[in-house]
A and B are shown apart, each in its own frame.
Chain A
Amino acid sequence: MTRGSNPGPWQSPEMTRRLARRHAAEKRFRLFGMGAIGLSLAFLALLLVIMLKNGLGGLDWSFLSGSDSTDPSLAGVWGATKGSFLTMVVTLALSFPMGVLAAIYLEEFAPRNRWVDWIEVSINNLAAVPSIIFGLLGLAVFINTFHLPRSSPVVGGLTLALMTMPVIVISGRNAIKAVPPSIRDAALAIGASRVQTVFHHVLPLALPGILTGTIIGMARALGETAPLLMIGMRAFVASPPQGFTDPSSVLPMQIFLWSDEIDRAFVVNTSAAIIVLLVFLLAMNGLAIYLRNKFEVRW
């Protein structure tokens, strides 16, 4: 134990070799990490490049303004885009108010009891339930029980709203939780009721966070295909839907339908439709990131 009195052991050849080995291991580990993230991003880049290479040639005005057709040169994405838009309107109109109200209740008013625990477990679990299960729910409830029109934006929107709501609740709760208690105390101390405190002070401060979460949830809903397959949104729809109850397709579904076509020309269409969908998604995610950076407040 008197090694301390001389620096010798650290200069011994054995120790020097050991140190060199450890530093080499360190370098290898670091490279492995870099490689992992590089490989993931390379895959993403490859995917994007292939889609761009295949699809850019097919992106023209007639493609953007046309609807589905059996002739690849006439087929376009306008019908599916409109269907997606109508579906998203229904989803947003339902899931946003519901999600925000539920988040407020759970974060600000809910008593601690077994019922509220059930609600919480329920929401956390719904956020992780496979999307195809929501499709089965939509099929059994909205179509088989309520006889709502098959393959319509209203059923698609309802189904996706149930799927999106938990996402909004969770991000909403986090945003509300981030508002410091001192703000609540200040409002309560001048005689505001709890409801007034929440709606006048807490909610406006939490809104940017809630909006960010909502946009991300909507982006996920926009790219979703599996639950819509269940409620029959795979019909061949040659004219854009005129209303919420008309049969319609949506963008990801159009991609899926075209991907099955044998005709080589549909490869161009599929890739071009993917580009259109990705542009929408990137715009939404970009908006979410912008909102987060612009309004994020560190308390």
Chain B
Amino acid sequence: MIGFIVLAAVLGLGLVGWFSARTRARLLYTGRGSLHSTPGYHGWHMALWIVIPALLAFATWSSIEPGLIETSVMSDPAAAALPAGDMERESILAEAHVIAANPGTAAFNPLSAQLAEPMRAAQSRFDLIGAALVVLFAFAGGGYGFTRIRAGFPARTRVERGVMLLLLAASLMAILTTFGIIASLVFEAGMFFRDVSPLDFLTGLHWAPANAVGDDLSSNFGAVPLFWGTIYIGAIIAMLVAIPLGLMSAIYLTQYASPRLRRWLKPALEILAGVPTVVYGYFAALTVAPLIRDFAAAMGAENPSTESALAAGLVMGVMIIPFVSSMADDSIAAVPQAMRDGSLAMGATKSETIKRVLLPAALPGIVAGVMLAISRAIGETMIVVMAAGAAARLSLNPFESMTTVTYQIVQLLTGDQEFNSPKTLSAFALGLVLFIVTLILNIIALRVVKRFREAYD
């Protein structure tokens, strides 16, 4: 909670700085034109000098503090008894953390109770150091800002330059995030590919990371079954549901529904897009999957599994419907009214106009929308985690359990195992493949959409 107090203090100091600088600048006012900038800008100049260095200091400190605390706790004699396993260690430390924050909580592991006290001490020590550091920066910045207040000082230009820098920095966050994703995926996947050859990974047909020990690594990391499961569920079954239903919904909404009906149906369809994926996943596992299993049993399948590619794909398709529908809606709306009129004036019926004129004209936009939908479906995680299953198999039978890239990433990173084992690292390799594929789909689709919009502008 001390972080909150520090932030509030910084903002308070900024406010004080704003008022004092403005007051001082007002005193300098001797007549029209005597000040280069209005007192308010002197206030802002001062406030920026107080807040920005202090916030930068706060951010830096917050990111290094946990490491410092951990180092300090590790130097405690009790820490020597910590187990080597990462997960266990983490959970003991986490528990110690809770006990340190709420003294009196019962400890599950006696070791964490022992570590709680050094943890609390280190925490409050480093918190205080950090707070002092942040306030120091605030005062230093404020002091500098205050000395700048003169009649001829171009406070407005300076503030605006500062604002521009802020704007630019915020925009660069996007690049930084993209770079962060690529760097972390490439780095961790690179460590994986030192042990397993990329060729085996991308073309191997056998996926069994659990058996992967010793020299026989590569033969157990063949990801083709995962790619197949992902494509079968996300790009085939889900799209067989989402494309016809989404497209026809969009056509009905834009071409047939009365404005009043449209006002009700469109938001209703948007609710479908707003339902969290974990809810869809639960619905798939609880209701849809058993139905499909019973259906498979009725069709004569022996021992049909509860988890099936069909259950996951169907529900995923329904989830994607509003997405396809809104992309198709936009594309159809972008076709000029004159085309529609031209066709109707020839005596074409509405459906003939839609099928022969509107859809062909809107096709690039619709195709791009479908590509974005596929990109979303193959990256979808919760539904497959809850309904698709763990079995990596190359099969065409939709009633069988199948696994996907996202399912395996979750599986590999949430079990109990050490960091930096090939098993955990393979999750990043899968993530890298997923990122690259969705990146290509997204970039092509976004470019097509852009060109398509320009064509009819």
Contact = CB atoms under 8 A, between A and B. Distances in A.
A125 B178 contact: yes
Given A131-B379, A133-B431, A133-B435, 19 more contacts: A22-B352, A25-B349, A30-B351, A40-B322, A105-B168, A122-B178, A126-B178, A128-B375, A165-B174, A199-B163, A223-B277, A243-B1, A255-B282, A259-B282, A267-B286, A277-B279, A278-B279, A281-B274, A285-B271
Contacts of B67: 146-147
Contacts of A219: 274
Interface of B: 1, 3, 63-64, 66-67, 70, 90-91, 94, 97-98, 101-102, 105, 156, 160, 163-164, 166-175, 177-178, 180-181, 184-185, 187-188, 244-249, 251-253, 255-256, 265, 267-272, 274-283, 285-287, 318, 321-322, 349-352, 354-355, 372, 375-376, 378-382, 385-386, 406, 409-410, 413-414, 419, 427-428, 431, 434-435, 438-439, 442-443, 446
Contacts of A279: none
A239 B245 CA distance: 44
Interface residues of A, number: 99
A132 B381 contact: yes
A39 to B, nearest CB: 6
Interface string A249-289: 00011011001000000010010001001100110010001
B410 A195 contact: no
A33 interface: yes
A124 B442 contact: yes
A29 B354 contact: yes
A43 B318 contact: yes
A40 B272 contact: yes
A74 interface: no
A178 interface: no
Contact of A37 (B156, B269, B287): B269
Contact of A136 (B252, B382, B414, B431): B431
9 contacts: A34-B256, A41-B268, A44-B272, A126-B178, A131-B379, A137-B181, A256-B278, A259-B286, A270-B282
A136 B185 contact: yes
Interface string A222-245: 111110011010110001001111
Contacts of B252: 30, 33-34, 36-37
A140 B188 contact: yes
Given A34-B252, A278-B279, A22 B98 contact: no
Nearest to A124: B446
A252 to B, nearest CB: 4
Contacts of A244: 3
A247 B431 contact: no
A285 B63 contact: no
A244 B65 CA distance: 14
